[in-house]
Structure 1
């Protein structure tokens, strides 16, 4: 995958605390793309569940994934690139999102459990408790070689990740 600068949409994915929002915002700015924060599209009942430390089921994620996919599709249909922050932990979730924009690419920010836990513990004002970090890793299906995905080390600096990503294909 050497053309990230030219794809219509990029979904920055990974477990809680991997840096999806920070990298997604910076990448969207660098590419002149719309930024879509997936966490803001969760229905209130999902936020309540996660706030109580209850992991979401596949069924509870469906409407949320569709909301993100629809936002991506709208940006692309309007002639703009889109960068979305979405955990997209399972292949089925990535396949569901891809139906909204077949050319999208997933940027997987890989981090270890300790890094994710520490980052989640240090966040202020976010609904995701550290108790859900392990469930995120239990749910995670890393992208396969046959998926439109690129993996980067999520422990690197945001600027370093963005430079690497936009440098691909030059």
Structure 2
């Protein structure tokens, strides 16, 4: 990685591979990895596990805690990869504003691939039945957002390589 500390966001709906790509990228860059799911309250996880999507109001404290964590990494000039849904443009703007040097990637996949992944996934609180609500909540990136959209159908290795290339070019 370049010598400048970076806060890297790997975003996408549930099942897009953001955790797998994020972990692999963090390992390749020798930096910390954080899964935003770990920042959800037990109540929010229980709601989602029961098939109830979160409202923007229910997501607000979660986004704020992620911003605080990113701000701390940025202040310490320490690199981190964060896997986070980033469904709403306003949330993406908040998250990137919390960083001094942020790069964002959005993994894009067709609905049928996402459904197949979610139905095969075991031991995760997020059920496949909530996918449609996430897809309907996902706001397409605006031109003003500095965000690289990646084809999530590629291998993890290929996606990590694309992220690393973009990170090198953004020095």
TM-score normalized with structure 1 length: 0.92
Query: C-alpha root-mean-square deviation of aligned residues, in Å?
Result: 1.8
Once residues 63 and 51 of structure 1 are traced to their aligned partners in structure 2, the CA distance between those partners, rounded to angstroms, is 19
Deviation digits for residues 70-115 of structure 1 (CA, Å, limit 9, x no counterpart):
2222222222111101001010111121231153222000011111
The Cα shift of 1:119 comes to: 0.8
Once residues 106 and 156 of structure 1 are traced to their aligned partners in structure 2, the CA distance between those partners, rounded to angstroms, is 17
Match of 1:49 in 2: 47
Match of 2:36 in 1: 38
Query: Unmatched 5+ residue regions in structure 2?
Result: none
The Cα shift of 1:21 comes to: 0.3
Match of 2:83 in 1: 85
Deviation digits for residues 26-81 of structure 1 (CA, Å, limit 9, x no counterpart):
11111222111100110011001000100000011111111112222222222211
Write the mapping of 1:1-170 to structure 2, written as runs, cut at 5 A: 8-168=6-166, 169=168
Once residues 71 and 120 of structure 1 are traced to their aligned partners in structure 2, the CA distance between those partners, rounded to angstroms, is 28
Q: Assess if the C-alpha contact under 8 Å between 1:4 and 1:166 holds in 2.
A: no
Q: How many residues align?
A: 168
More displaced stretch, 66-75 vs 10-19: 66-75
Structure 1 residues 102 and 142: CA distance shift in structure 2, 3 A: farther
TM-score normalized with structure 2 length: 0.91
Once residues 96 and 161 of structure 1 are traced to their aligned partners in structure 2, the CA distance between those partners, rounded to angstroms, is 25
Instruction: List structure 1 runs of 4+ shifted beyond 4 angstroms.
Output: 3-7
